[in-house]
């Protein structure tokens, strides 16, 4: 419960939009000047017109959809494997001893450093892109799940032992709720990394429909308006994904003092 | 363990069918539920050296008896309760419950921890219900049992509250309800009133006594408060620290409920206080 909410219980908190509005304001004022400071000849109007054109031709949706599909698929693969492996290592002492160091070592490699290797294994096409996105989602999910599960306090383990909770009950009503805050943090990071790596994969690997493709085309054709449009879409989508997980968090963690 | 669970089941069902108060149900299953602790010693390894925590503890709790344990901080009271509960099996000596050695936790032996240890993500109601998750009882019976026990500890209206939304004393009462909902034969209480203010404390002492009288359950309660120990206990066990050992056993010998101002209570209180000021020499060659 913050001050704003206490004072204006029915108004949404819009303070976070002020800096953004300022940027747009400056852009609207200065953007029309040829070789203006920010985006050269990309005035708000030009970007809007370009957007409209691309929507009409269907090109925008085609590219956008391709990127969204990649992030959803890649995240589903990498995120679920990551959660499973994090859970396994967190729960099992032996698995932790065997594979913990490997996981720690692998996480040190920057994801885009793996592009050449993935290219060798998967070619430069769609599967390599998906593999990159999956890997990007895998590590934050695996590591956050692992950490949260491993830290289950002895106090709760003892209550579970005292009342002789069965394995499934223990998982569902002790381990999962306890680990959930950490797992959700992992989810946020994983989605964000996956989205970044979708754009990266589209820029680094072979050309195919996608927002990265739109950005690249803008660069080739000296179309700043297209680039700016692409950036706005990438940023907006990332923001929306984060907002969605935050809303989910609010719902799932409503038992926490801070959320009620 | 499996046997005891099956034994408990008819109790719950019978209570539901006939709507008899739980106390009668409990009285009926009065069988051998004596607790015997015989020459129990326990040490922890600290910095690779053994630290003796309990030394040669022996006690017997008859079915339905109320035993209180007093002793300075760190003299091993919680450790002793954990051994009886079966949470720690690494000790010397013998702990028998109903004639059989304690080999792990069982629903027959309830424990209320020093901290309430409710799960913060479960409501009060769900926390209490979690206690019988491992027993095959039908949902209607479960609901009835939870409702009864919420009423027993006076938490009506807070069923759907999360632990952080209730006071410390209320959380502790919920923890007591969780421990009682399986109708254990013996309830171990580790300073259950340690975290509440003096007024609430007096009130909760009487609540505990009422529950004990109503349920007929054996209770072993650890406390720092000597008056509380004498007011509630049929027998008061005084522990001396380092290593924790029994320095005195006092049979109170007054019927319950009692009057706090009873001169005999005050006299016993003084006697126990004296025990703390001039510890009697311990005779190790018993
Ligand atoms: N898991 C443990 N590992 C090592 N030492 C322990 C452990 N648990 C307890 N001890 C030690 O055993 C001694 C007794 O602890 P215990 O918690 O039983 O005391 P207590 O009588 O319940 O004290 P209090 O009144 O403060 O709750 C303490 O000296 C403590 O340091
Ligand atoms: Mg203690």
Structure confidence by residue, pLDDT tens digits, B140-164: 888 898 998 898 888 889 999 999 9
State residue B220's pLDDT score: 94
Cα-to-centroid distance, B69 and ligand 1 (Å): 15
- Residue B27 pLDDT level (bands cut at 50, 70, 90): very low
- Mention every residue, 6+ apart, whose C-beta is less than 8 A from residue B199: none
B46 CB less than 6 Å from ligand 1? Answer: yes
Shortest CA gap B86–chain A (Å): 8
Mean pLDDT in residue range A244-248: 91
Short-list B158, B61, B59, CA closest to B108: B61
Q: What is the pLDDT of residues B112-130, one digit of tens each?
A: 998 889 999 999 999 999 9
- For an interface test with A, the pick among B6, B119, B179, B182 (most A C-beta atoms closer than 10 Å) comes out as B119
Q: Are B227 and B193 in contact (CB under 8 A)?
A: no
B243 CB less than 6 Å from ligand 1? Answer: no
> Domains in chain B, start-ordered, CATH in brackets?
1-99+229-286 (3.40.50)
State residue B246's pLDDT score: 86
Q: Are A145 and A83 in contact (CB under 8 A)?
A: yes
Cα-to-centroid distance, B91 and ligand 1 (Å): 14
- Residue A30 pLDDT level (bands cut at 50, 70, 90): low
Mean pLDDT of chain A: 85
A255: contact with B, CB 8 A cutoff: yes
> Domains in chain A, start-ordered, CATH in brackets?
60-259 (1.10.3720.10)
Mean pLDDT in residue range A46-52: 80
Mode of pairing for the β-strands spanning B218-223 and B66-71: parallel
Please say if the pLDDT value at position B31 is more than 70: no
Using the beta-carbon criterion (under 8 Å), do A163 and B113 form an inter-chain contact?
no
Using the beta-carbon criterion (under 8 Å), do A163 and B134 form an inter-chain contact?
yes
Q: What is the pLDDT of residues A77-120, one digit of tens each?
A: 999 999 999 999 988 888 888 888 888 888 888 888 888 888 88
Mean pLDDT in residue range B203-207: 83
Q: Which of B57, B78, B223 to mutate to test the pocket of ligand 1 (most atoms within 8 A of CB)?
A: B78
Shortest CA gap B106–chain A (Å): 7
**What count of residues does chain B have?**
286
State residue A25's pLDDT score: 79
Using DSSP, state whether A205 is helix, strand or coil: coil
State residue A31's pLDDT score: 58
Tokens of A178: 């306890």
């Amino acid at each position: 419960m913050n001050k704003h909410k206490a004072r204006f219980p029915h108004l949404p908190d819009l303070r976070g939009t002020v800096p953004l509005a300022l940027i747009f304001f400056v852009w609207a004022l200065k953007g029309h000047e040829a070789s203006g400071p920010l985006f050269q000849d990309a005035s708000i109007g030009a970007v809007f017109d370009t957007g409209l054109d691309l929507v009409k031709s269907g090109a925008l949706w085609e590219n956008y959809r391709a990127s969204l599909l990649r992030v959803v698929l890649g995240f589903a693969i990498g995120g679920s494997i990551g959660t499973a492996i994090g859970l396994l290592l967190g729960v099992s002492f032996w698995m932790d001893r065997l594979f913990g160091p490997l996981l720690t070592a692998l996480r040190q490699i920057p994801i885009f450093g793996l592009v050449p290797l993935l290219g060798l294994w998967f070619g430069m096409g769609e599967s390599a892109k998906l593999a990159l996105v999956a890997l990007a989602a895998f590590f934050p999910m695996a590591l956050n799940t692992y950490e949260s599960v491993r830290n289950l306090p002895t106090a709760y383990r003892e209550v579970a032992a005292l009342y002789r909770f069965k394995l499934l009950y223990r998982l569902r009503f002790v381990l999962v709720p306890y680990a959930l805050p950490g797992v959700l943090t992992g989810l946020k990071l994983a989605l964000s990394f996956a989205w970044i790596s979708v754009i990266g994969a589209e820029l680094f690997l072979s050309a195919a429909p996608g927002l990265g493709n739109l950005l690249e085309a803008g660069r080739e054709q000296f179309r700043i308006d297209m680039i700016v449009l692409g950036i706005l879409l990438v940023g907006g989508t990332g923001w929306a994904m984060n907002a969605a997980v935050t809303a989910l968090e609010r719902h799932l963690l409503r038992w926490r003092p801070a959320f009620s | 363990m499996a046997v005891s669970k099956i034994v408990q089941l008819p109790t719950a069902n019978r209570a539901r069918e006939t709507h008899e108060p739980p106390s009668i149900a409990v009285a009926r299953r009065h069988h051998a539920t004596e607790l015997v602790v015989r020459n129990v010693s326990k040490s922890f390894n600290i910095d690779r050296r053994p630290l003796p925590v309990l030394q040669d503890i022996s006690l017997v709790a008859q079915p339905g008896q109320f035993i209180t344990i007093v002793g300075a901080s760190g003299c091993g009271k919680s450790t002793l309760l954990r051994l009886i509960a079966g949470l720690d099996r690494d000790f010397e000596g013998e702990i028998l419950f109903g004639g059989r050695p304690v080999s792990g936790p069982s629903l027959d032996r309830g424990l209320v921890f020093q901290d309430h240890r409710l799960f913060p993500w479960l409501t009060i109601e769900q926390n209490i219900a979690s206690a019988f998750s491992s027993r095959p009882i039908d949902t209607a019976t479960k609901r009835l049992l939870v409702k009864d026990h919420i009423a027993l500890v006076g938490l009506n209206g807070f069923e759907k509250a999360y632990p952080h939304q209730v006071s410390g004393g209320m959380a502790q009462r919920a923890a007591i309800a969780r421990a009682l909902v399986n109708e254990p034969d013996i309830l171990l209480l580790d300073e259950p009133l340690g975290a509440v203010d003096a007024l609430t404390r007096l009130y909760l002492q009487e609540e505990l006594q009422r529950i004990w009288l109503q349920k007929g359950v054996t209770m072993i309660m650890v406390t720092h408060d000597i008056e509380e120990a004498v007011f509630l206990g049929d027998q008061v066990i005084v522990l001396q620290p380092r290593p924790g050992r029994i320095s005195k056993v006092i049979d109170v010998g007054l019927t319950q409920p009692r009057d706090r101002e009873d001169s005999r209570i005050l006299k016993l209180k003084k006697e126990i206080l004296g025990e703390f000021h001039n510890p009697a020499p311990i005779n190790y060659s018993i």
